[in-house]
Amino acid sequence: MSTVAPKLVNVTPRDSVLLIGINRAKKKNCVSHETAKQLISAFERFEESKDYKVAVLYGEGGTFCAGYDLSEVSKGEFPPEKFLEKYRPMGPSMMQFSKPVIGAIEGHAVAGGFELSLMCDLRVVAKSAKFGVFCRRHGVPLIDGGTVRLPKLIGMSRAMDMMAEKLMPRPPSTGVWPIAWWRMVKP
């Protein structure tokens, strides 16, 4: 009896849109090394194909992504050095795209998941969305481009406030948030 590896990333074409969903809901969509490889494959497919004009990155099960799977790290399982020469632990976070990527964010987008959200050109969020740098609680730094992208998006002062507070404050009643387009998104 053979065991089929789980599909950790759902890739669904919908006309000229490629939907890319992190599929580890039981683990709050934490990214493992295998998940990172599947995300890279999905984004390479998006970038190389003329069929897709936009990609939408989302998380299955009500959470965008709660960062890297620290249970892998605690077991001493790290991405191979050869992988890290080209990519980052979260996978596609440092890739550059010639077409837009939209982050459809529901629930937590924290630690490495926050960095994945910053990779997106536009972030559309549900009212349940929470952005944060919770990885600091465990002594884990942001290493997937978040510390470079965040100040570019919201300014150095706001970025430093967010890093110190660990959680982005709720958006103002105007619905305008420095890093996201705040709209009610139906799952």
**CATH number of the domain where residue 144 is located:** 3.90.226.10
**9-40 residue pLDDT tens:** 999 999 999 999 999 999 999 999 899 999 99
Total of domains in the chain: 1
**136-150 residue pLDDT tens:** 666 666 666 677 777
pTM: 0.82
Range of the domain at 76: 9-164
End-to-end CA distance of the chain: 36
In the sheet that holds 17-22, the strands lie side by side as 9-14, 17-22, 54-59, 101-105, 122-125, 180-182, 176-177
In a domain? residue 119: yes
Smallest Cα–Cα separation from 113: which of 103, 99, 101?
103
Torsion from C-alpha of 94, 44, 41, 113, nearest 10 degrees = 30
